[in-house]
Structure 1
Amino acid sequence: MLKGEKTRRKIIEKAALLFNKKGFDGISMQDVSEATGLEKGSLYTHFSSKEELAKEAMAYASMTSFISSIENLEKLTSPVEKLKLHIRNVLSKPNFPGGCPLTNIAIDADDGNTVMYAMAQESLKHWTSFLKQLIKEAQEMEEIQSSVNPEAFATLIISLLEGACLASRLQRSKKALTVAQQFLTAQIDGYVKE
């Protein structure tokens, strides 16, 4: 990796932590400069604007979080077991510092930030697509009933996981995470073909 690429990567990683913890409006390019130890002018050598940096930083945070959620899925052959492991991973692995990037991006987007809104939409679309594919594979392998709507079930899973993560943070308790995992596991088991 070239020096310029390493510097760009360092900026993205440090900025991702800042944006995810404090939101788009909560940080300035000066904050990123201080976190990276680089002059502001150097930041603008790599990124034309705060919006461009935010977009790449939050894409990095989202992808890092997603990679954690699919850890060890490749070791399983059953799509149903992959779905259950994905849910366990989301609820049990440490999230990206500052919380779930999708939730944080969506909160930023709610303030009318079009850059963050587009990022939130893209992250949600990617996750939904991933889950839909797993559910369809389970149906093709006759593990899940064909009557299950993959998009509706993916939406339910994401909604429950995101809500449980938020409730867990607010309550400073893992109770919501446990309840969500138990409910989704029971739901999946109820859809399994006998």
Structure 2
Amino acid sequence: MRRSEQTRRRILDAAALWLNKKGLAETSLQDLADEVGLQTASLYYHFPSKDALIEEVLHKGIEIVYEDVRRALDALEPSASYRERVRVAIAAHLSSLLEHGDYTSANIRNFPLVPENLREKNLSIRRQYGDYWRQLLQDAQKAGEVAPNVDLSLVRLFLVGAMNWSTEWFNPRKKSIDAIADMICSMIFDGIGPKEQRPSDGGQKRVTRR
């Protein structure tokens, strides 16, 4: 990696850290320049404005996870079940999220706070990643591995939302990423109620009148 690329990466890493820990209002170019040992004017060589820097951090917050999930699924055998594909996608999302936590958390925390033009630019890759999960779940449903009456939009929102906040609750001393992925996958495909007691009438108990 060339020196200019290394410097650019250091600036991005510092910006992601500050946006995650301190937030948009408390992140200034002067602070970032001090953090990476540069003059403020030198930052403009790599990023023409603070908005351009924030835009790149937000983009990476989604792009990194998206690429890792796609790479993990591409490595599976074509014969892999959709249950296994979903489990692998969950594990890859969590692993990537926690490895690059500053970027992903910076996106989650600051997306509602950035100017509208930056939100609009970030929505493109957000939609792409959302569509990727939507297609995965739709394929699982078409293959008969997900019930036809399940609202996949709700499943996707619950799933991705829960995974995104794992940076707040994940503790490797309690459960590994693989163990969490297994459990989440089991909840999605098997439910959380005991199978032998699961009612077939939507959970409503029948009352016998005498």
Q: Check whether TM > 0.5.
A: yes
- TM-score if structure 2 supplies the norm length? 0.66
- TM-score if structure 1 supplies the norm length? 0.71
Say which is worse superposed, 137-146 or 113-122, in terms of deviation: 113-122
Unmatched runs of 5 consecutive residues or more in structure 2:
192-210
Choose between structure 1 and 2 for higher RCO, CA contacts under 8 A separated by at least 6 residues.
2
What residue is the counterpart of 1:187 in the other structure? 188
Distance change in 2, residues 1:145/1:172 (3 Å) = closer
Instruction: Describe the superposition over 1:73-99 as per-residue Cα deviations: whole angstroms up to 9, x where unpaired.
Output: 22223333111112223345634243x
Say which is worse superposed, 129-138 or 35-44, in terms of deviation: 35-44
- Choose which of 70, 85, 90 in structure 2 pairs with 1:87: 90
* Number of residue equivalences: 185
- Choose which of 101, 108, 111 in structure 1 pairs with 2:110: 108
- Choose which of 125, 128, 149 in structure 1 pairs with 2:127: 125
Trace 1:42-191 onto structure 2 (pairs within 5 A).
42-70=42-70, 72-76=72-76, 77=78, 78=80, 79-91=82-94, 94-98=98-102, 101=104, 103-111=105-113, 113-114=115-116, 117-118=119-120, 121-122=123-124, 124-163=126-165, 165=166, 168=169, 174=174, 182-189=183-190
Question: What value does the CA root-mean-square deviation take over the aligned residues?
Answer: 3.5
CA apart distance, 1:131: 0.7
Percent of pairs with identical residues: 24
Unmatched runs of 5 consecutive residues or more in structure 1:
none
- Partners of 1:3 and 1:180 in 2: CA distance: 38
User: Per residue, is there more helix in 1 or in 2?
Assistant: 1
Report the residue type matching 2:37 in the other structure. G
Report the residue type matching 1:152 in the other structure. L
